[in-house]
Amino acid sequence: MDVLHYNAASLRKATLAVQPVETFNSDLAVNIGGAMAAAQAVMATMSARQSGSILLTDGTLGINPSPGHLSLSIGKAGIRALTLGLFDATKEKGVHVATVTVGAYYVQLDSGEASEIAEEFWKLHIQKDNWTAETIYSPSAE
């Protein structure tokens, strides 16, 4: 496997006051736990080959949390922490772990915006030198 792209998220709208602990925990299992499990599943193979990219979709809610989407905000902060926490150690093994932090809440399938975000992931994957751990994508004003 050359590339793993993790883009799953639980998009629950709930504040701390109304979200049950059970759904909060299940949201984090999707938003962070799934990314960790996916990365673990490919890391040994990529490390043995000393090549590959693990690309994670992040969002600006991880930097600027929304009280109305608390579990998603914490999940995106977790994706960013996972990426930055793995970056140096995996780089030494020839594996590029990186994230595109998307500054849009909902991206329409087959839209120009989706293509622009895909291009950002592609740019991370093909970096040869001076790898970066994060790219921030902001939608263009139309």
Give the pLDDT confidence of 57-92 residue by residue, as tens digits.
999 999 999 999 999 999 999 999 999 999 999 999
- Sheet of 96-102, strands arranged across: 3-6, 53-59, 96-102, 134-137
pLDDT score for 141: 52
Cβ atoms of 95 and 41 closer than 8 Å: no
Q: Which CATH number fits the domain that encloses residue 121?
A: 3.40.50.720
pTM of the model: 0.92
| Percent with pLDDT over 70 in the chain | 97
Q: Is residue 92 part of a domain?
A: yes
- H-helix or E-strand containing 28? helix 21-28
Report yes or no on 142 lying in a domain. no
Please give the structure tokens belonging to residue 35.
């990314």
Q: Which domain holds residue 63?
A: 3-137
- Please count the residues of the chain: 142
Q: Which two tokens stand for residue 134?
A: 């994060």
- pLDDT, mean of residues 33-42: 97
Inter-CA distances, 78 with 53, 60, 84, 107, 125, Å: 19, 12, 10, 21, 21
Q: Domain for residue 72, yes or no? A: yes
